[in-house]
Structure 1
Amino acid sequence: MIALVVLLVVIVATLGAGMLLRVRSGTFRAVDAGAAAPELDPVLAAVGVGVGVPVVLHFSASWCGPCAAVRRVVTQVLDTAPGSARDVELDLDENPLPARKLGVLSLPTTFVFDGAGRERFRASGVPTAEDLRTALASL
């Protein structure tokens, strides 16, 4: 009887955690950019961050299915607002250093940087086009 109760508690806790993670997946979280522009990291500058225009940087991999969905969302948003931001896609397997610098723990992960190279938003999972538009509009 006790084993059954423990099993039910574990199942309910697992379902709750899964639902919480699913709700947060793809949602942009604002990052405190600070008042002053920090010195731009050379690793990020080398991939095109901090060149005076906002940058949507997303990490992907050839083996990542949801990464293709992020690519479609970013393309859709930037095609409707040309010049609003640059699209930079980095393969995680080929670019581990920028991923490590930014603390990428899962794929897909998307960042929005302002023109000065400050990280302003971050999303793990597939963001919606509307969320990405809102993040870019706030810059």
Structure 2
Amino acid sequence: MITLGILAAAVVAAIGVGILVRRNEGRVRAGADPETPAAQGLRAELLTAAGVLPGRPTVLHFSADWCGPCAAVRRVVATIVAELAAAPAAPLDLEIDLDANPALARELNVLSLPTTFVLDAEGRERYRISGVPKPADLRASLGPLTVPTAPE
């Protein structure tokens, strides 16, 4: 009888964790800036090596050959970037292979695949998305970044 109770508790806990994970999947969250100048320098160096161009917002998504949902991310990102191609500051679509670029993945704290970042024109992380992004959310997060701001 005790074993059945423990099993029931484990099942309820697993369902709760599953619900929390599913709820956050695909949700756009505000990004975090690195806290130290050394971390900022390393990040800038790695992003430049990866192909992030200064002056353009970038959708940076990590993938791998063995990642099934990564194909859906490719489709969503390609569609939204194509929609915004005529914008004054059209975003760049950059896919990074996790297996080939583990240092960048570590620096950006990529814990699962797929993970997508929306970077502003200076290469700063504005948003982070775990899982497949919802097209409307990705479009909304890129919208303000595709309009160039006047120099201060």
Shift of 1:50: 5.0
Distance across 2 between alignment mates of 1:93 and 1:3: 42
CA RMSD of aligned residues (A): 1.9
Give the structure 1 partner of residue 143 of structure 2.
137
Q: Letter of the 1:55 partner, please give it.
A: T
Where do 5+ consecutive residues of structure 2 fail to align?
A: 35-39, 146-152
Give the structure 2 partner of residue 66 of structure 1.
69
Residues 1-139 of structure 1: pairs in structure 2 closer than 5 A: 1-33=1-33, 41-49=44-52, 51-82=54-85, 83=87, 84-139=90-145
8 A contact 1:69–1:126 mirrored in 2: yes
Distance across 2 between alignment mates of 1:59 and 1:109: 5
Deviates more, 1:22-31 or 1:46-55: 46-55
Where do 5+ consecutive residues of structure 1 fail to align?
A: none
SS of corresponding position for 1:127 = coil
Q: Letter of the 2:99 partner, please give it.
A: D
Shift of 1:71: 0.1
Shift of 1:48: 2.7
- The percentage of aligned residue pairs carrying the same residue is 52
- TM-score (normalizing by structure 2): 0.83
Shift of 1:6: 1.5
Distance across 2 between alignment mates of 1:81 and 1:112: 14
Q: Which runs of 4+ in 1 moved over 3 A?
A: none
SS of corresponding position for 1:106 = coil
Deviates more, 1:40-49 or 1:75-84: 40-49
Shift of 1:32: 4.5
SS of corresponding position for 1:94 = coil
Q: Letter of the 2:103 partner, please give it.
A: L
8 A contact 1:50–1:118 mirrored in 2: no
Distance across 1 between alignment mates of 2:111 and 2:135: 22
Shift of 1:137: 1.6
